[in-house]
Amino acid sequence: MKSEENLLNNFTELSAFLSAYNAFDEKEEAARLSFLQFLEAFGGFAYVRDNLVGHITVSAWIVNPKCDKVLMAFHNLYKFWAWPGGHADGNQDLFEVIVREIKEETSLQNFRLLSPSPVDLAVLGVAEHYKNGKFVPQHLHYNLTYWFTADENQVLQAKPDENSGVQWLTFAEMEKYCHNDQVFPCYQRIMKKTQKIS
């Protein structure tokens, strides 16, 4: 799956996108400015996990055709339901990264992009933890969210090394299942944006 309109295939395109991005509120505007400073400071090193200050990640907001449910996964590391997504790991084609992550984390094979570029920006703090037996210090995720739609009747399958469940949640269920104080405000903002667009 590839969008001919897709942006953000490289560092230059990402910088241009962020410079022109119209933030939804003051929190997202602060994230946009922080993102630009981060890219200016680190360049291509922003895309790799070896950057212990922070690194670029992508997430997927996947809704059903009626746009009243969203696909979430229970993340083993964070212990709460959250959007599918992951690290760029050096790949500057962020659309390619998110397509890979959706397939790996949910087993979805058929899904369609609803917006040619990301619909949300966030800077998310990550607590110190161990990954594959290695200590990872507290750092930041500079995250971009892409918006997709998919048939909710497709077979779903968790990726056991990363999540222990994948399911569709109604927007009304989001607060119950996705109660993280840092991430839930992002979900609320995306719901407002996408409902307005759709």
Please give the average pLDDT of every successive group of 10 residues along the chain, which has 198 residues.
59 95 97 98 97 98 95 88 95 96 96 94 95 94 98 93 92 87 93 78
How far apart, in whole angstroms, are the C-alpha atoms of residue 115 and residue 146?
7
Show the domain range for 43.
11-197
Q: Is residue 124 domain-resident?
A: yes
What pLDDT score does 197 carry? Answer: 65
Q: What percent of the chain is helix, strand and coil (3-state, nearest 5)?
A: 35, 30, 40
Specify the pTM. 0.93
Q: Is residue 6 domain-resident?
A: no
- CATH (domain of 175): 3.90.79.10
What pLDDT score does 3 carry? Answer: 45
Phi, psi values for residue 85, rounded to 5°: 165, -175
Number of domains observed in the structure of the chain: 1
Q: Is residue 80 domain-resident?
A: yes
Query: Residues with Cβ < 8 Å from 145, sequence gap 6 or more?
Result: 58, 59, 60, 61, 83, 85, 118, 119, 120, 121, 122, 186, 190
One-letter amino acid at 160 equals P
How far apart, in whole angstroms, are the C-alpha atoms of residue 144 and residue 56?
8
Q: Is residue 1 domain-resident?
A: no
What pLDDT score does 34 carry? Answer: 98
- Give the residue from 186, 198, 1 showing the smallest Cα distance to 100: 1
Query: Residues with Cβ < 8 Å from 16, sequence gap 6 or more?
Result: none
